[in-house]
Amino acid sequence: MLGLTAGLTLFTALAACSEGDPGSGGGGEDGGGAMGDGEFDQIGFMAQDMSNPFFQAMEEGIVAEAENMGVEVNTQDGRQDLNAQNEQIDTFIQQGVDAILINAVDSEGIGPAVERAVEAGIVVVAVDVTAENAMATVTLDNVQAGEVACEYLVEQVGGSGNILLIDGTPISSVQDRVEGCQGVLDENPDVEVVGHQNGDNGRSEALSITADLLTAHPDVVGIFGINDPTALGAMLAAQQAGYDDLVIVGVDASPEAVDALEQDTMFMGSAKQDPNTQGSIGLQMARDLFNGEELEEEMVLVPTEMLTRENLDEYEGW
């Protein structure tokens, strides 16, 4: 896991001041005005689903960094609803916030609303997943996360057998994880995906989907879930169906994943994330953009590695 200090060091290395003039937005009547005007003191944070501990940890990182800056944070729960996030952005425009940190429900679908905010002079930084028209992004290296998770899965199933892939919503992080996993599977043709279905990134939907897939494909040896709630929902479905020897992996290295690894379960590992660090880096990027600084890198990718029972004692967690 990339710790907070290492994450901030990474960000410092990637950001540099520009000698040019501060950027400015459209500055609508109720908008935030020109970027760089006034004091950076009010931001909005938009999360996909605040019932997910991952986004709670991300908010903690943002709030902690905001306190250091003297910045007020207004958190909004997207509830996995694109329409809700559209309305939240319009509200932030009316309120004239200085910046929005957005964890989009739909990476492309949110684009027009993000564009409205930028045109109103508001800095928009995407956190954890891309958001079309955002000015910068900080996220896990999700392709790498899919790669390390599925490399471990392939290793644990002995390089052959049928597996399930429980997918998620149309956001960049999910799509990148699947891409990374598929790249590994392409190099291991004896491991075949016999069931691939989209969920909603949550445990309940993954349980239902996996139950159906296991009925249709009972001879599977492993499951890749695009995040820990998905993987843990899949594990519950497998347990209810009478399985006790599947290899199940996810992404996030969440507290719930740690609990599962501490017990004798079919959940075997998770690619590590650090939502706290992502949030704090995103806020720093937003502040620098507001102050007219030019980022050397508009996309910051936080590296990952696999959390398993073998290295669990070394893991500090979120």
pLDDT in tens, 65-101: 999 999 999 999 999 999 999 999 999 999 999 999 9
Indicate whether 281 and 230 sit together in one domain.
no
Give the pLDDT score at 38: 81
Task: Give the SS3 label for residue 145.
Answer: helix
Is 171 a domain residue? Answer: yes
Work out the angle between the directed axes of helices 82-95 and 111-119 (0-180°, nearest 10).
Answer: 0
pLDDT digits (tens, 9 = 90+) for 227-240: 999 999 999 999 99
Indicate whether 30 and 117 sit together in one domain.
yes
Indicate whether 158 and 266 sit together in one domain.
yes
The answer to whether residues 125 and 281 touch, using CB atoms and an 8 Å cutoff, is: no
Indicate whether 12 and 124 sit together in one domain.
yes
Indicate whether 265 and 146 sit together in one domain.
yes
Is 318 a domain residue? Answer: no
Cα 59 to Cα 46: distance, rounded to the nearest angstrom: 9
The answer to whether residues 233 and 203 touch, using CB atoms and an 8 Å cutoff, is: yes
Which residue range is the domain that position 34 belongs to?
4-134+274-305
**Which residues have C-beta within 8 Å of that of residue 50, sequence separation ≥ 6?**
56, 59, 75, 77
Mean pLDDT, the chain, as a whole number?
A: 90
Indicate whether this model's pTM tops 0.85: no
Which secondary-structure segment (H or E) carries 232?
A: helix 228-240
Q: What are phi and psi of 197, to 5 degrees?
A: -145, 145
Amino acid at 184: V
Cα 27 to Cα 132: distance, rounded to the nearest angstrom: 20
The CATH number for 298's domain is: 3.40.50.2300
Domain count across the chain: 2
Indicate whether 63 and 174 sit together in one domain.
no
Q: Which residues does the chain have with pLDDT short of 70?
A: 1-37
pLDDT digits (tens, 9 = 90+) for 21-32: 333 333 334 444
The answer to whether residues 101 and 43 touch, using CB atoms and an 8 Å cutoff, is: yes
Give the pLDDT score at 296: 83
Indicate whether 116 and 165 sit together in one domain.
no
Could you give the count of Cα atoms lying within 13 Å of 219 in the half-sphere of its Cβ?
6
